[in-house]
Amino acid sequence: MARICAITGKRPVVGGRIIHKGVSKKAGGIGLQLVKNNKRKFRPNLQRVRVKLPSGQVKRMWVAAKAIKAGKVNKA
């Protein structure tokens, strides 16, 4: 299953989980040092819903939760 929203086109994006160590300068330390930058994926919150298309037919699609909340989908 491709993790892509059928309505908005949202797809996974690559980012990083940044890990710091140390004490901030404000708290009396020498500042935060970067220790590690782990690659990770941010995946959209996809739900499988039955959608009523403009032609009248009903079809199951993977749709992002944000699109459902925004009312971009006519549920069947």
pLDDT in tens, 18-35: 999 999 999 999 999 999
Q: What is the 3-state secondary structure (H, E, C) of the chain?
A: CCCCCCCCCCCCEEEEEEEEECCCHHHCCCCCEEEEEEEEEECCCEEEEEEECCCCCEEEEEEEHHHHHCCCCCEC
Pick the CATH number of 13-69 from 3.40.50, 2.60.120, 2.30.170, 1.10.3470: 2.30.170
pLDDT in tens, 26-73: 999 999 999 999 999 999 999 999 999 999 999 999 999 999 999 999
Residues 3/15, Cβ–Cβ less than 8 Å = no
